[in-house]
Amino acid sequence: MSADVLSTEPHTPPVGTSLLSLTGIQKRFGAVRALSDVDFEVRAGEVVALVGDNGAGKSTLVKVMSGAGPADEGSYRIEGREVSIGTPAAASAHGVATVFQDLAICDNLDVVANLFLGRELTRGVALDEPEMERRTVELLEQLSVKLPSVRIPMASLSGGQRQSVAIVRALLGSPKVVLLDEPTAALGVAQTAQVLNLVERLRERGLGVVLISHNMADVMAVADRAVVLRLGRVAGRFDMADVSREQLVATITGADTNVVSERAARVAGRSAAAPAGTEGNQA
């Protein structure tokens, strides 16, 4: 592959432009209706969280957006133009990149080899290793991703660093929309912060980011909007500036009173009743 095929510079429309829009999405598996009349949109320069309980339809909707599982009915638009997305390759060609939870990382290969796996740059009949390394370093620096070296095996990196490399790899095709499937699952506090910082930098580059997550703290920290799925339908849409964590959880569960809200109330009650200076000593 020649060096001019890949770009590290974003090519996105002005902030606020509709990048990906789904309307009336239906998906069935036999007699089971996994998605019913789902509308979803992500615009340039925003992070949209897709949240819901297990079985709500999040994974199915991600497959529709990524081309891994085309919808049975409904329209799929890229920048307002209706397109047919039947495969991941078709989604990628239209500027939609997906980082799935399993990352698809080769632990025995170094960072450069993982980023360019399957789309290696060549000079004549040989791999252009210097150019691939240069582009890797350039993109990591642009996104403030810090690694010990780009020539160490992926197995030597932390979970947060591995996730960051997987996200950076998705940017090599200059996508307009990036789908992140549970990017902080199983990560520690510091590693989660590293990944969330990267999500914010994607937004700053003008990309549309779809964050699929069960972690309400992550959603509250970086999302601009949230779409809640419940039983295959859209149960709510929220601007994050106008919604509380408790409201999100209530919409996810379908009940104003749930185990999460009850626990939050108990903790708040204990904190209010505790003498000054003793809150941190409670078990």
Domains and CATH numbers, the chain: 3-243 (3.40.50.300)
pLDDT tens across 140-163, in order? 999 999 999 999 999 999 999 999
Sheet hosting strand 18-29, strand order edge to edge: 32-43, 18-29, 73-78, 81-82
Confidence of residue 280 (pLDDT cuts 50, 70, 90): low
Q: Which of 58-62, 73-77, 157-161, 278-282 has the lowest mean pLDDT?
A: 278-282
What pLDDT, on the 0 to 100 scale, is given for residue 4? 38
Query: What tokens does 212 get?
Result: 């699929």
Average pLDDT over residues 31-44: 97
Q: What's the CA gap between 24 and 87, in Å, rounded? A: 19
Indicate the angle between helix axes 159-171 and 189-204, nearest 10 degrees: 20
Mean predicted lDDT score pLDDT of the chain: 90
Residue 108, helix vs strand vs coil: coil
Of 173, 163, 206, 27, the C-alpha closest to 90 is: 173
Share of the chain above pLDDT 70, in %: 87
Per-residue pLDDT at 190 exceeds 70: yes
What pLDDT, on the 0 to 100 scale, is given for residue 91? 97
Q: What's the CA gap between 63 and 97, in Å, rounded? A: 12
Q: Higher confidence at residue 266 or residue 213? A: 213
Q: What's the CA gap between 127 and 164, in Å, rounded? A: 24
Q: What's the CA gap between 260 and 117, in Å, rounded? A: 43
Average pLDDT over residues 242-258: 89
Between CA 164 and CA 235, with CA 226 as vertex, the angle to 5 degrees is: 135
Per-residue pLDDT at 6 exceeds 50: no
Confidence of residue 102 (pLDDT cuts 50, 70, 90): confident
